[in-house]
Structure 1
Amino acid sequence: MNIEKARFNMIEQQIRPWNVLNQEVLDMLIVVKREDYFPAEQKSLAFFDTELPLPDGSKAMTPKLEARILQELVLKKQENVLLIGAGTGYLAALLAYRGRHVTVLESSKVLHELATNNLHRNHVSNVDVVLADAFSDKNTGAYDAIVIAGGLEQLPEHLQQQLNVGGRLLAFVGQLPAMTAQLFTRTSATAVSKQNLFETVVEAAAGAKPVSHFSL
């Protein structure tokens, strides 16, 4: 398999047609090598438009969705990022390439270990992977960008409160069969705006609390 040809095809046939046109993002996909975050038996599949299975039973995001997240966030080099959901560590590596520091909260011990090992092996030093329940309101912090790498029925308020002024939070909100990628921006100390970006389907975020639909 010609790895670089596969990477070129991934960018030109999957990612660019999905409205990812920011050249800095496209160039980053060449530098931060996706196949290095998957085991040998999956390396040739890492460029496919598919959700590859992870060892805990969940699935990795598709390449085009990862790229779209990067484009929508418009990260700056001085910004600190919170990522909820480690996956293989690849999305954290992309965010770390663009930002100052990335904190990853992951509730699965298997994925915590996988992402930590992958990031270490690829010499990514500005990421901390923390074994924690991201949806517990005991977690606090102040971030310039937050990414929730999984679907939510409703965005918890305490996550919005962790945004600095000017900070952006990208989440996939809704229920199957349709979810909406939404970008929340803190415009002041007391106000947050919301923008609907595009529709998609992603796996539910591990640990996310379902919305009660019971009524009297």
Structure 2
Amino acid sequence: MGRGKIEIKRIESTTNRQVTFSKRRSGLFKKAKEISILCASDVAVIVFNSTGRLFDFASSSMKRILERYRNASGRGVWNNEYEQMLSQFRNLKKENEELQKELSCVTGENVETLAPKQLDYLEENLVLAAKKVRERKTEVLKYERRKTESKVIGLQQKQSILMELLAHAENHEEYGFTVSNSEGQTTPPPAFRVQPSQPNLQGSGH
């Protein structure tokens, strides 16, 4: 009893679709290898799955087979993309050369190769650049001056506070120190008197 005919349509189940893809891909690559051996043919197969993953098979060199395809069909596989990349590279190279030339002129190199109009243009740019440098320098100096003035004001305020505290301490009796007795009354601290040392008459031998 033979198998029933399988309806060719999209497999909705993700798991079943992945399993079927793996089996069919292996079978496809196997058939491609067989035809390349049996018929002495160059075979290349390129497959992308539903997630964009690449699978390929080549009986020899994939690059050589694609080159043969391009020559035989007259259609380039990477021609458009390659030409765009090459054009972008050329433009970037040209821009880089122009920038290098302008930079060397700004530093005073190779100015002898410039025409009068180019020299006028360079002079205008240098004048404008010097103006911007002066403006920026002025801004920086103003900022540094404001910062220094702020520090000076802060130091002056601290000095003023210290002077007030010192004046208050000098005007207060005994510099503001008091002693509390057992009854809770405050009295000035006791005065300390240094007594002169007396000679030991008994041990002097006189």
- TM-score normalised over the length of structure 1: 0.18
Higher RCO (CA-CA < 8 Å; seq separation 6+): 1
- TM-score normalised over the length of structure 2: 0.18
Larger radius of gyration: 2
Greater fraction of residues in helix: 2
